[in-house]
Amino acid sequence: KYGCRVSVLVLPAPEPLTTPQALQYVGLQAFGYDFPNYSFIPSSVSIKSVWDIFYKKNDDIQQ
């Protein structure tokens, strides 16, 4: 529905769950999703706030 607001919470997976052996049981393909090129984001990468990305982008356009 247009205008519906949602919240998304993303948590990093524990290191043991990112091994190829573990992903056979807990990965996306184990649940029927077909994402052959999917890769996990390393936990060392900082996560950017969607609010900061889009709010600042729109704020720059308005000025």
Task: Calculate mean pLDDT across residues 49-57.
Answer: 74
pLDDT tens digit string along 5-15? Answer: 888 887 778 88
Neighbour count for residue 62 (Cβ, 10 Å): 5
Q: How do the domains of the chain map onto residue ranges?
A: 13-41
Write the CB contacts of 26 (distance below 8 Å, at least 6 apart in sequence): 17
Distance CA 20, CA 27 (A): 9
pLDDT tens across 29-39, in order? 888 888 765 56
